[in-house]
Chains A and B, each alone.
Chain A
């Protein structure tokens, strides 16, 4: 396997060239003597903390800059005279100051910003056609601002995890490159993906996981049994903010694919001014914490685990502008991985360029490229893998657990090379002040080259096996949006927006599987005794038109109506177009004349909307599969076909309150959502004796999904020497299959993960011992309904304490619970009598004292009684200390115009689990990685904890 990453040299060259020529673009070098300079400091009211990243500009001009980490700013080339300076920062009220600028002189203007949690005039983009002020928005929108995050975040998964209510980010394993499942308000689909749509700067990108590195032939388990996420191909340091809308009440205008919500990522853009360089260096390590028993804390994996797997990260960016505004960046991440064959490397470059060739016209170009190289250890429920064999101890597939027996398994090489390119062009034309047009073109190409080799002589496959797959998903987005403001009368305003969108997604795959490899280096399919090629290509095109009308009265009553109409190549022939309506209201109660001065601010809103989820096209056809039989083409019945196939449709009602009290120091948001999915696609079995036996997706089911989201945020203590801010949020989610439409109860995994009428989506079912701790014969309830497989409640707590000299301390904890998980690997271990929690019980049985065993032990510590593939089940509730971070400015470092910050951050080092949670970790998903539908514990190591030190410098 090649060890060097797939960093194309042209990218490095391009990068170098761009960086080298930047000084030529520096507009400040040509400052005339007739202008002056303004400098100053920007602080936060109360804490007196210097604020970085504040946009400071001279009102009425294009002169401006961004404050540095010590809160200082400098604007050069300012025309002399009385100038008004304005400072804006997200999350704060605006402040202005006056300065008298004299030619060749430096004037001073300090500003103070007041923290404000309810920002009714902030622009929101997601869920609206052309952007709207927060007061006009009828649905809930969560924002994550990178400025507010202390932790040195390495991936988008980390960035989204336990920040805001209603967003669940579930990691899978400790494997290098492991991606997380993201769920917004739970599951709205049984058969299709529940991963939300993701847009980056208005461009749709792939949000579902990359495919598994898994040979087409042989056991569907021979690989790392985990998947990388294309979302983690982004460099988090490039992100400015993220907006999240969680259901159809907000996502209607995104149409047929948007029922699971939409995440919109905005990357950093250039600003007029001299180049600001940012450098970040992270160094640290990952460590898997104990997941076994007291005597076997790592279930025998200790010799193979790196207890301080090195991780490092270097990120450099430059931001500035003049004629052309630019944000250019590059980053390199390397990680050793906790398992012996694991390693990963990621190289990302980004160029964002903005220009305004004419005052009516702005052009925004966004481009990025990520090259990732991931090497993995064979893990999961893979009999040729490391973890499964180690956990099975002396009952494994290689004759025991000694180092000599296990080491040959590491000859199994698994690699994934990812190339992810994103190009976007957006042109905005303001035809008049009130009439704007925007055209966006986007191209996302996520490519993964997966290979794996078990060389000739490999202990469990002596002939050797080679598998190589080239997989590419290309998504083309073309979108036009027009918007027209129509002031009807003094109090009444109308904005009409309309648009059209076309998204075409093509997935292509070419794979070769070869066996009978020659001994020695670098086998190829050509040199193998046998090889088998497969290829596939699937294209789905969704096209839609949308229209939205926003009616405002007195700038506090708003009515928003919208409609999207979609066609898709995936729909059945008899189905035609699908339309998705939406209506919502927003009311800024606190701006009524009768509202008292000290009563705080309140906005009420309600929204109702539809969105869909489309199947893949081939599901509507009656087909035969072309298969091989001894080298000849053979046909076997495949799908019976469904000419009435259509999208799933989710309707959501959301009501919410946003409020701020005590001079804006405490803010609260409350949402209640109720989603009903109709036409849910369920795989329905045809009658087997009629030949076609593949299950056919049929629009028969109905689901319901509801809950509340409450968040409280406030400054608890605001003194000159200490400032304490905290966030508390709660999210609940209760799902239910309301109607199976006559379809049979659906077994999603191995007889334990079910879709059953009136039960959660999905529910775990299996035997339960009613008297587990009694020294007695077990009393067993067969087919016990354990409960939902997805969490029903999440409570998050964040606390930031600010001390003098800019020292900050941040704590983040999260409780997730109400759900159950199936321990698949322990079932397998129990059937071989190598279950670590049974060690005492095995001894007692061996010495003839079975009568001393508990009921639980009598079942689970006796291979003859272990229910096959049915348990153990654990309540998966946990409380985890996500993050402890200390941030210290380093004022003495280097150059005078620089600021430096040192951060030390510990992630996931402490967890409370339910007593009945015996082994492993609740944050695991299973062998299908991001594509897993029933969350379970397979033979993986849990996601590691990490300790990272980060040094940031801005110049």
Chain B
């Protein structure tokens, strides 16, 4: 008997998925860059939330899982299993951006050096690599072996440089400033303070470049807001942090928090002091801004021994915020002022863990949150460790 089977290939008509092979065309590049933006935003607010609790910008007060801080994380322990999501999201953000840029070079050919999309893609590659460098203990690229985390700062620097060139070429000042400011921040992280200062000095007043969040679905929300909004989670609280007392004393608009009479306590029984920096589901998170640039200049000057100059930079920021200057006199006081001011200015932006880590490693003077016995970076995620053959 002859057996024959007719099998018609009429499977998927609309699954909301697109085959990889169909993306090598110009129409796909816009959505690919939008994907880079989303991947970076997803990674940033997840890392910012956990990082905030580990670096004592806030304390855990509620949900331990959904939009929350796990008990281990709140004790300052970052383990591979609980860091898996952070690792994966950050690596997805990098891969999507770098792979997208590669695809753009192929699809656009000679038009790549003058493409605004290309500049945006490179910018995302820069910020995604910065996020990895600042938060992950080890650098890993495309399934390769573990390397020093500076590999990500180097890639970031390169991406920002190319983005800057394109942005200048097409006359897009906003993109050019974002690339320059991004490079300033990674040069500082690489210890290249002169270069960092030079870039930072070029950023005009009022400049800010954000990671975006949206109200369309929960995955696009600003998690730091949502975890503390009128939701059941109330995951984090400002209670017992430096910022609790600081805001009470100064009313500094950069570190606002409030009490909610309807929810006086978080589900963990901790007084619930709600952060008010982000007040909507689509509140953007700054990636780089003019104030950070001034603090890079201040830190560069401090490192060059220019204490009064450094303090002047800091006090200018405080005056602008309408708060009293720090009463710092010596080098140690100046470092304390710098550390505090960076904490205030970059509060809940996912940057504190790196600052505290690098200052501790370098042994610079001055007071800041004490992270003794706490982790200051995320380890290689459990999935990466178990699937990547180059990681023993």
Contact = CB atoms under 8 A, between A and B. Distances in A.
B6 interface: yes
A625 B141 CA distance: 23
A636 B124 CA distance: 14
Contact of A569 (B7, B65, B219): B7
Nearest to A633: B31
Interface of B: 1, 3-21, 23, 28, 30-32, 34-35, 37-39, 41, 64-66, 70-71, 87-88, 91-92, 94-96, 99, 140-144, 212, 214-220, 230-232, 262-263, 267, 269, 282, 381, 383-384, 386-388
B267 A690 contact: no
The 9 closest A-B pairs by CB, nearest first: A567-B7, A691-B95, A634-B34, A397-B232, A630-B214, A623-B17, A567-B5, A617-B11, A217-B217
A637 B92 contact: yes
Given A216-B217, A689-B141, A691-B99, A636 B39 contact: yes
Contacts, number: 199
Given A633-B31, A634-B31, A688 B91 contact: yes
Given A635-B34, A685-B387, A547 B1 contact: yes
Contact of A628 (B64, B94, B216, B232): B216
Interface stretch (A441-449, A529-537, A600-608): A529-537
Nearest to B4: A545
Nearest to A530: B215
A568 interface: yes
Nearest to A573: B9
Interface in A468-515: 498, 513, 515
A526 to B, nearest CB: 17
A687 B387 contact: yes
28 contacts: A217-B219, A218-B217, A384-B232, A399-B262, A515-B215, A537-B13, A538-B11, A539-B12, A565-B5, A618-B17, A622-B20, A623-B17, A624-B17, A628-B216, A630-B282, A634-B34, A634-B37, A634-B38, A635-B31, A635-B32, A635-B34, A688-B91, A689-B94, A689-B95, A689-B384, A689-B388, A832-B267, A868-B71
Given A537-B13, A635-B23, A689 B140 contact: yes
B220 A629 contact: yes
A513 B219 CA distance: 14
B95 A569 contact: no
Contact of A831 (B9, B23, B64, B387): B64
B34 A688 contact: no
Give the interface centre of A626, A636, A639, A685 by most chain B CB atoms within 10 Å: A636
A756 interface: no
A570 B214 CA distance: 36
Contacts of A687: 143, 384, 387-388
A691 B140 CA distance: 12
A632 interface: yes
A629 B386 contact: no
B88 A628 contact: no
Contacts of B15: 536-538, 618
A627 B35 contact: yes
A123 B262 CA distance: 70
A626 B384 contact: no
A219 B66 contact: yes
A693 interface: yes
A395 B263 CA distance: 12
Contact of A539 (B1, B11, B21, B388): B11
Contacts of A271: none
Interface size class of A (residues with CB under 8 A): 35 or more
Given A569-B11, A689-B384, A831-B64, A629 B35 contact: yes
Contact of B143 (A565, A629, A630, A689): A689
A40 B302 CA distance: 113
A638 B66 CA distance: 22
Contacts of A566: 5
Contacts of B381: 688
B4 A530 contact: no
A582 B15 CA distance: 37
A513 B216 CA distance: 10
Given A627-B38, A691-B92, A693-B88, A569 B10 contact: yes
Contacts of A632: 30-31, 34
Contact of B220 (A536, A625, A630): A630
Nearest to A539: B11
A218 B11 CA distance: 29
Nearest to B390: A687
Contacts of B212: 629-630
Contacts of A779: none
B232 A633 contact: no
A675 B17 CA distance: 36
Contacts of B1: 498, 547
A540 interface: yes
A628 B217 contact: yes
Contacts of A637: 92, 95-96
Contacts of B34: 629, 632-635
Contacts of B70: 868
A636 B70 CA distance: 27
Contacts of B384: 687-689
A569 B9 contact: yes
A374 B180 CA distance: 59
Give the interface centre of A383, A566, A688, A832 by most chain B CB atoms within 10 Å: A688
Interface string A633-647: 111111101000000
